[in-house]
Structure 1
Amino acid sequence: MAHQEDAKERFYRNFRMQQSNIQEQIADLPSIAPVAGERQDATEHILTNISRLTNDVRDATHFLPAYDHRVYVDAVTALRRELDETTAKLAPKSRFQFRPRPVKTAASHDAPAAATVDSRRLVNPGTTREGSPVPKGKTTNGKPPISPPLSPGGRGRDTTPRAIKIEGQTEGIITLPADHSRGSSAGQLTGLTNCVVNLASPTIEASRASPFASLTLKDITNSVMIAGHVDGPVHITGLKRCKVAVVARQVRIHDCEEVDFYLWVTSEPIVEGCKQVRFAPLPEGLGAGEEKGENKWGEVKDFLWLKQGEQSPNWSVLPEGERIKDEAWRGLLEDRDESKGVKEILGSVGLVE
């Protein structure tokens, strides 16, 4: 009997944790730009989590009373309904407007109202002004190129926030231009190998640019990334042997291995399907000293580790003696010496291929 009570309590706590995480992800959807399928990817991830929770409830029928089981089923149904309502609100609006039938007067004729196209051009923020992908990195005489400006040219004084998308780089040094105006609606880094990425400089100083609304890091290997400030969520998937530094409201980490995270985060970091990931507080030189409130960098939740009261073996605190030194961080932020090779820079932060 006691064992059954323990199982019910563990299930309840795990369910509530996953339910809360899904609700947060749904609430974040409006802040994720629809460019490059980023919002669609986030929606599919939520659907996967709801499906996993559905299976958990189904598998718990052998120890849950019928009434409790019904309550859990209804809660999962409510999550799906909440997601459907949110995605419906975010769906692109129709370009057609139907005008009501005019009120009949003595001079009017009986005729059906016609469907007319709104003459104003509908603009979907974050898509029509999206920055072009950065060309694949190439080396010349062993020297890595500085990536070209990521903001679209020819816009004059246009300061409309636009998405930053970087993909397919190898052995490249990637930076945002110092005068990058007013930030970006979203950032997306995909498919990088042996790269040094600095997106922090323009976003640390609010006078230069606003923080990213959201940021996605996906399928990146043996790279160091100073990601700057993110007002909304950071979604990190498929990283291996990397160093990541970021200030964010939420950080969700999936399927990563041998990655060190330096965080200032106002909510508990979430990991799923990860191995050998380590966490440390963000150094002050990267903007941590300007943040207010509590930094929850060490309050990590592993959604695939359900043993209450036991530390997950998938993540740990990064020992102080193994953390990147302040001078190395400063070098990454300030050094623009193109004569240095990428391997030399990565070696300075402990990344050797």
Structure 2
Amino acid sequence: MASPAPSSADQMPIEIVSQNKAEVSLKDRFFRYFQHEITALQEQMGRLGDTALIGGERADAIDHCLAGIARLSSEVKDASASIPPYDQRIYADAIKALQDKLAEVRASFAPRSKFSFKTARKNPSAISLADAAEIAAQGRRHIPGYRSNDNSLQSSANQSPISSSTPVSDRLNLAQSLGTAEKAKDLHEENTDNQNNSTSVGASSVSVSSHTGLHIVLPTSASHATVPASITSLQHCVVDMSIPTADGRPFAGLAIKGVTESLLLCGQVNGPAHITGVKHSTIVVSCHQFRMHDCLDVDVYLSCSSKPIIEDCGDIRFGKIPEFYAPKSLDGPQANFWDQAQDFKWIKVEQSPNWRIINESERVPEDIWVNVVPGGPGVSVDTILKATRVIRP
């Protein structure tokens, strides 16, 4: 006797758990992105004292810090739809602490009067960034379906317990509280050392170009419009472009060219993804069309609604996209031809020797994508590249 079909009531809990999992994933990734950004801002403030006064260089550097804080505040507002009000308050308090720190640094540069009284004024409402991290992490533990991870969230807050009465200068020692050895670059920030090194997000395109040894995280503001994205001329980098596309705003198209020994998390692409001249790297992408030219020794974790195509390539390995980066469709499972690649330069009936499926033993474990790849305290570019087998023993 056939079993009765499950009712809609029986299926509902599964849908709720799936939805909660997606929401938690986005909130967790924004939290990590926030950690990266305040670390970068702290590093900029730490360099202000070494910046020359001649030609207004220090004033420009201070303005750059102010703009960075304002941008980060805007990022929190942009992500408000996916961040609960409780967490928004935590982020706002952390940004306020950054503003206080910058004001303190600026005051230290001002000429001092011969006779003056110093009054230490403390803002009782400004909490430390370490406290902000811990409270935000604790808040997430109460979200249905959220799985706590001490290595990814708690460790950043617990490295240096700081009370709210600690002076601002000590409370904002991000190297101990939320610091990471890696400097995260967001796509509004220009590289002042070399004008050829650039990351940019604009009304017409998003691009990451000419970097070496960086962990680059695309901010949520890039999701304001569906635009083409490009990644060019990178070496030994980790690039995460998945955050702005996680809420259903995919890139219009993707072009990757000239990348070596890097991990590229490309997010969701509504159109084609063209990959050219990539070597010894790993690519994670969800797209409608995938075409690869002149590439060597590349792992591709893919979700593709058409059969991927390779030309003039060698040692290409395909795997199904990790669950952490898989597109979430409200219409149910979508067609995925990730394992049905076509080699246009191999016309024989036999299987092309230029590509194969990644063996189960070779696949990067899901917990690496969730807990290591997003970065964090003590997680360097080398750590991520080794964990994802871009760098192999």
Amino acid at match of 2:355: W
- Which aligned pairs between 1:133-144 and structure 2 lie closer than 5 A? 143-144=181-182
Q: How far apart are residue 283 of structure 1 and its match?
A: 1.7
Secondary structure of 2:371's aligned partner:
helix
Residue by residue over 1:277-331, the C-alpha shift from the partner in whole angstroms, topping out at 9 and shown as x without a partner, is 01011122112453742100011100000112x1000000110110111011113
2:348 paired with 1:317: no
Q: TM-score, normalised by structure 1?
A: 0.53
Q: How far apart are residue 333 of structure 1 and its match?
A: 5.4
Partners of 1:181 and 1:228 in 2: CA distance:
11
Partners of 1:332 and 1:185 in 2: CA distance:
29
Within the candidate set 223, 243, 255, 1:201 is matched to: 243
- Map of 2:257 onto structure 1: 218
- Map of 1:275 onto structure 2: 314
Q: How far apart are residue 165 of structure 1 and its match?
A: 1.3
Extract unaligned runs of 5+ from structure 2.
1-179, 191-200
**Number of equivalenced pairs:** 201
Secondary structure of 2:282's aligned partner:
strand
Residue by residue over 1:68-125, the C-alpha shift from the partner in whole angstroms, topping out at 9 and shown as x without a partner, is xxxxxxxxxxxxxxxxxxxxxxxxxxxxxxxxxxxxxxxxxxxxxxxxxxxxxxxxxx
For the 8 Å contact 1:150–1:164, the answer to whether it is kept is: no
Within the candidate set 174, 184, 192, 2:216 is matched to: 174
For the 8 Å contact 1:150–1:176, the answer to whether it is kept is: no
For the 8 Å contact 1:167–1:190, the answer to whether it is kept is: yes
- Map of 2:276 onto structure 1: 237
Partners of 1:255 and 1:215 in 2: CA distance:
17
Partners of 1:299 and 1:150 in 2: CA distance:
38
Secondary structure of 2:315's aligned partner:
strand
Q: How far apart are residue 160 of structure 1 and its match?
A: 7.7
Within the candidate set 338, 346, 351, 1:297 is matched to: 338
Q: How far apart are residue 264 of structure 1 and its match?
A: 0.5
Within the candidate set 281, 285, 300, 2:324 is matched to: 285
- Map of 2:183 onto structure 1: 145
2:201 paired with 1:162: no
Amino acid at match of 1:221: T
Partners of 1:229 and 1:281 in 2: CA distance:
14
- Would the alpha carbon gap of residues 151 and 342 (structure 1) be closer, same or farther in structure 2, given more than 3 Å must change? closer
Secondary structure of 1:217's aligned partner:
strand
- Map of 2:145 onto structure 1: none
Q: How far apart are residue 201 of structure 1 and its match?
A: 1.4
Secondary structure of 1:219's aligned partner:
strand
- Map of 1:343 onto structure 2: 382
For the 8 Å contact 2:242–2:268, the answer to whether it is kept is: yes
2:292 paired with 1:253: yes
Q: Give the helix-richer structure, 1 or 2.
A: 2
Partners of 1:163 and 1:336 in 2: CA distance:
28
Q: How far apart are residue 151 of structure 1 and its match?
A: 8.6
Q: Report percent identity of matched pairs.
A: 33
Q: How far apart are residue 205 of structure 1 and its match?
A: 1.4
- RMSD, matched Cα: 2.2
- Would the alpha carbon gap of residues 256 and 184 (structure 1) be closer, same or farther in structure 2, given more than 3 Å must change? same
Amino acid at match of 2:371: G
Partners of 2:215 and 2:226 in 1: CA distance:
20
Of structures 1 and 2, the larger Rg is shown by 1
Within the candidate set 224, 227, 230, 1:188 is matched to: 230
Amino acid at match of 1:189: I
For the 8 Å contact 2:372–2:379, the answer to whether it is kept is: no
Partners of 1:225 and 1:319 in 2: CA distance:
20
For the 8 Å contact 1:151–1:180, the answer to whether it is kept is: no
For the 8 Å contact 1:174–1:196, the answer to whether it is kept is: yes
- Map of 2:370 onto structure 1: 330
Amino acid at match of 1:148: D
Amino acid at match of 1:178: T
Q: How far apart are residue 270 of structure 1 and its match?
A: 0.3
Secondary structure of 2:336's aligned partner:
coil
Secondary structure of 1:244's aligned partner:
strand
Amino acid at match of 1:335: G
- Would the alpha carbon gap of residues 167 and 149 (structure 1) be closer, same or farther in structure 2, given more than 3 Å must change? closer
Residue by residue over 1:169-226, the C-alpha shift from the partner in whole angstroms, topping out at 9 and shown as x without a partner, is 00000111134342441111101000011100120112xxx21000011110111111
Partners of 2:202 and 2:355 in 1: CA distance:
39
Q: How far apart are residue 343 of structure 1 and its match?
A: 0.9
- Would the alpha carbon gap of residues 173 and 224 (structure 1) be closer, same or farther in structure 2, given more than 3 Å must change? same
- Would the alpha carbon gap of residues 205 and 256 (structure 1) be closer, same or farther in structure 2, given more than 3 Å must change? same
For the 8 Å contact 1:221–1:239, the answer to whether it is kept is: yes
Partners of 2:231 and 2:324 in 1: CA distance:
23
Q: TM-score, normalised by structure 2?
A: 0.48
Amino acid at match of 1:144: E
